[in-house]
Structure 1
Amino acid sequence: MSLLVVGAILLSIILGYKTRINIGLFAIAFAYLIGSFALGLSPNDIIKMWPLKIFFIIFSVSLFYSFAIINGTLEKLAEHLMYRCRHFPHLLPYAIYITTTIISALGAGYYTVLAFMAPITLLLCQRTGMSMVIGSMSVGYGALTGANFMSSQSGIIFRGIMANAGVTENQAFINSIGIFLSTAAIPLIVITALVFFTKHRSTIAKGGYQADLPTAFNKEQRQTLTLTLIMMGLVLLAPISHLLFPDNQTITFINSKMDIGLIASVFSVIALLLKLGDERKAIASVPWSTLIMICGVGMLISVAIKAGTINDLASWIGTSIPAVLVPVAFGIVAAFMSLFASTLGVVTPALFPIVPSIAQSLSLDPMMLFICIVVGAQATAISPFSSGGSLILGACPTEESRTKLFPQLLFRAAPLGFAAALIFNLLITFVL
């Protein structure tokens, strides 16, 4: 039965990749067929496996942050941040990374940020002569890092999957801080190596980079940015205060009433009342395909849990791999999965549920395992076969540049990211 479920997960990924049909739809179909006809579950039991809480949180948060997208707030913010780098053209990769990270952390999400930052970045590469590999890695890393922020899309998804795996919400928040800090450190090291230990600086000096002064934020954009910062403050202040003052009853009470999905819903209503964007466009901007993929795979993972697959896999890892190498092994497996599959939709929903039992049986720190999985998965997210890499390829201004960038992403960017992630995972496993 466990082999059947694992085969269904792999087949969902392969079929999704080959047919370009959402992996989540295949996962839902397999969850029904295996759950009802092999495990004897009722259709109602299968439907209840839809991860409603994760769905609601992603929907609510994405709906609120979509106002910043449709009224141009994020694009305007990107223009202003990039303009600040005009006197230091060789530091442009840092500007791209920091700009993309800030915008992604403000809640736009990985795919949305790449959708409008990748074309800007590749255009800058064309104008300045900067390597497309450096530009692609800077924008890709930035979108990933910002999205991993505790109140942004990926950070929220990670916390939700951890909670479903039995991790307390408080510990899930702490784990998400570790993931964010780790995925922020690696890109800075890689970008520094690319900026100062390659021909990047001399190439940029010959390019004559110039940036025009962007127009000021309009009233709606200023209000949107203010609302976004207020919501981020509310979402982060309560859990952080609770971590600092766990015995304070008032803070404990307030923290128990905080829910990012419900808070985002309130702020969406405020944004609509202030007329910061069209309701229909905001709803259309919700990443429905990502939602279907995450929730569909979540249903199939729930079937795997019912079938005992997760326990079998955890038992196999616990007895077949030396305990000290388990975190590194998780990172390597996640990296290879991410070459062809989504970190959010496939890799973390498949691997996170194994972590608690593995950590308990081998006396490992669960946070270290969660970090190694995400670091490994995001190391190869720039692969042209992965969703992130394909978005960057799609942003190329010409077919010639797209043809040139494809092998560079596959044979330079992805291996470089993998090497950096492997070294990082080895360090936190054996040194920290």
Structure 2
Amino acid sequence: MMSLLVIAAIVISIALGYKTKINIGLFAIAFAYLIGCFAMGLSPSDVIMMWPLKMFFIIFSVCLFYSFAIVNGTLEKLAEHLLYSCRRFPHLLPYAVFITSALIAALGAGYYTVLAFMAPITLLLCERTRMSLILGAMAVNYGALGGANFVSSQSGIIFRTLMVNSGIPENTAFINSFGIFASTVAIPLLVITGFMLFTGHKKSMQSSTYTITPPTPLNREQRVTLQLTLLMMALVLLAPIAHIVFPDNQTVTFINSKMDIGLIASVFSVIALLLKLGDERKAMAAVPWSTLVMICGVGMLIAIAIKAGTIDLLASWIGTSIPPVLVPVAFGVVAALMSLFASTLGVVTPALFPIVPPIAASLGIDPLLIFICIVVGAQATSISPFSSGGSLLLGSCPTEKSRAEFFPKLLFRAAPLGFVAALVFNLVLSFVL
């Protein structure tokens, strides 16, 4: 009975958030309090302790440092340079948009930020170069998603933290994050290539006469910001990789044990402020507070679900009702359906990741396979106009007329295409691994 109550609370939170446009995390916090204190007999302190403090600190610290690159225009200028480098090969523009979006997101901007400033540029390029709106939308959306899944970027950090909180060892979670990143970058590239080869799109773009104007060079603040960003990424990546390669080396083990991306990012934020790379108030304002509230609020409600035994109940049901080989695929389909209306970072992965370890253990499946299928499925339908990615793309349309024409293309062509590609990939992965 308690498990049904918690599941109903999660569904109602999503529905209310979608209907009222109020942050889902706020509804989740309210339900966590009401169910935890009045239905389960927990104390208010117990419920407050369920706020995922470590995840909040890591995301806040990393986003604060990366916000300097947003505030002083480093990422936008870098995007202009990358797109300009493709000017002589117009038919490669979809790849340029994809790679630019992925690289900027991997450098720490995060999915929503990249989409916010890359989507208008991409739609303008579609208008002037005869690039298909569907192709442009997929390139920028899935590029931003794939890049943000990099282990030192926003989504990758969230996935890794969720895995560790679910009982996955730190080093294994690091490797799993690489698997998710590689998968979510490979699938869109295959889809874009298929689109280019089988729709005659390459020929129409080659006939375009549109030229991209040369960008201005990076200024001092932008150059230093880029150097700091690359240095921080190197620090974050080298220690765990070295520990995986040299697991018995005591020095490497000691250094790796002291590495924490949230604390490293805090140090780099101080360096950025001392070097005057951006205004502190603007950098603080650029932190995605609404995303933080959504992720942590839903995290509280998921913690209540774990306390109530809901996660174990769901794991038991899935483990006994679905053939083991199809379990990862089923997770991918559920994630895709949830992502049509809810955030991958704020709702889908916090709800599904805790179920993975017990199911994987009982069925003898590698958790990596299920984690990949969940993220691939969820991100496949994020281009739906009802989801965050699609709504940002629609918001980038210059006129109401273009927005009305773009809506059915996203809903009936882009989202189904992404879903089918993800389903095929998950099926192949499930039978190969």
Q: CA deviation at 1:194?
A: 1.1
- Asked if 1:37 corresponds to 2:38, the answer is yes
Rounded Cα–Cα distance in structure 1 between residues aligned with 2:210 and 2:333: 39
Tell me how far apart the structure 2 counterparts of residues 22 and 109 of structure 1 sit (CA, whole Å).
19
Q: Which residue of structure 1 aligns with residue 347 of structure 2?
A: 346
Q: Give the corresponding residue for 2:403.
A: 402
| Corresponding letter in the other structure for 2:89 | F
- Is this contact kept in 2: 1:107–1:152, CA < 8 A? yes
- Which runs of structure 1 show a deviation greater than 3 angstroms over 4 or more consecutive aligned residues? none
The structural deviation recorded for 1:208 is 1.3
- Comparing 126-135 with 257-266, which one deviates more in the overlay? 126-135
Could you say which residue in structure 1 is the equivalent of 2:171?
170
Whether the aligned pair in 1 keeps the contact of 2:90 and 2:208 (CA below 8 Å) is no
User: Does the CA-based 8 Å contact 1:130-1:204 persist in structure 2?
Assistant: yes
- What displacement does 1:168 show? 1.2
Alignment of 1:312-323 (within 5 A): 312-323=313-324
* 1:431 Cα deviation from its structure 2 partner: 1.8
For 2:150, the equivalent position in structure 1 comes to: 149
Identify the residue that residue 63 of structure 2 maps to in structure 1.
62
For residues 32 and 162 of structure 1, the distance between their equivalents in structure 2, rounded to whole angstroms, comes to: 25
Counterpart position of 1:13: 14
Once the two structures are superposed, what CA deviation does each residue of 1:84-140 show, in whole Å capped at 9, x if it has no partner?
101110110000000010000000000000000000000101111211110000000
Partner of 2:110: 109
Q: Which runs of 5+ in 1 are unaligned?
A: none
TM-score normalised over the length of structure 2 = 0.99
Letter aligned with residue 287 of structure 1:
P
Partner amino acid, structure 2, of 1:91: L
1:27 maps onto 2:24 in alignment: no
One-letter amino acid matched to 1:412: R
Return the alpha-carbon distance in structure 2 between the equivalents of residues 157 and 195 of structure 1: 33
CA distance in 2, matches of 1:367, 1:431: 13
Shift of 1:202: 2.6
Aligned residue in 2 for 1:267? 268
Stretches of structure 2 that go unaligned for 5 or more consecutive residues are none
CA distance in 2, matches of 1:359, 1:201: 43
| CA-atom RMSD in angstroms | 0.6
1:329 match: 330
- The 2-side partners of 1:311 and 1:418 are apart by 28
Residues 70-89 of structure 1 mapped to structure 2, 5 A cutoff: 70-89=71-90
Q: What is the DSSP-based 3-state SS (H/G/I as helix, E as strand, rest coil) of the residue aligned with 2:329?
A: helix
Post-superposition shift, 1:199? 2.5
Q: Distance in 2 between matches of 1:169 and 1:298?
A: 19
- Cα distance in 2 for partners of 1:369, 1:154 equals 17
| Aligned pairs for 1:237-316 within 5 A | 237-316=238-317
Q: In the alignment, is the contact (CA less than 8 A) between 1:91 and 1:195 conserved in 2?
A: no
Aligned to 1:364, what secondary structure does the other structure show? coil
Distance in structure 2 (CA, Å) of the matches to 1:195 and 1:247: 48
Question: Is the contact made by 1:144 and 1:378 (CA closer than 8 Å) also made in structure 2?
Answer: yes
CA distance in 2, matches of 1:82, 1:265: 31
State how far apart, in whole Å, the 2-side matches of 1:71 and 1:399 are. Answer: 31
Q: CA deviation at 1:207?
A: 2.7
Separation in 2, partners of 1:238, 1:399: 50
Question: Counterpart of 2:11 in structure 1: which amino acid?
Answer: L
Residue 158 (structure 1) aligned with residue 159 (structure 2): yes
CA deviation after TM superposition for structure 1 residue 267, in Å: 0.2
- 1:368 aligned counterpart, secondary structure: helix
Structure 1 residue 360, shift from structure 2 partner: 0.5
Q: Distance in 2 between matches of 1:367 and 1:105?
A: 21
Amino acid paired to 1:201: K
- 1:110 maps to a residue whose letter is Y
Aligned equivalents of 1:208, 1:24: Cα separation in 2: 47
Matches of 1:369 and 1:204, distance apart in 2: 39
Q: Deviations over 1:278-300 (max 9, x none)?
A: 00000000000000000000000
CA distance in 1, matches of 2:88, 2:57: 44
Counterpart AA for 1:155: G
Per mean C-alpha deviation after superposition, the further-off stretch among 342-351 and 207-216 is 207-216
Aligned to 2:211: 210
Describe the superposition over 1:195-238 as per-residue Cα deviations: whole angstroms up to 9, x where unpaired. 12113123213331211111000000000000000000000000
Residue type at the aligned position of 2:361: Q
In 2, Cα distance between the equivalents of 1:202 and 1:224? 39
Contact 1:96–1:139 under 8 Å retained in 2: yes
Please tell me whether residue 140 in structure 1 is matched to residue 125 in structure 2: no
**Residue pairs, 1:380-419, within 5 angstroms:** 380-419=381-420
Question: Would you say how many aligned residue pairs link Structure 1 and Structure 2?
Answer: 432
Shift of 1:160: 0.7
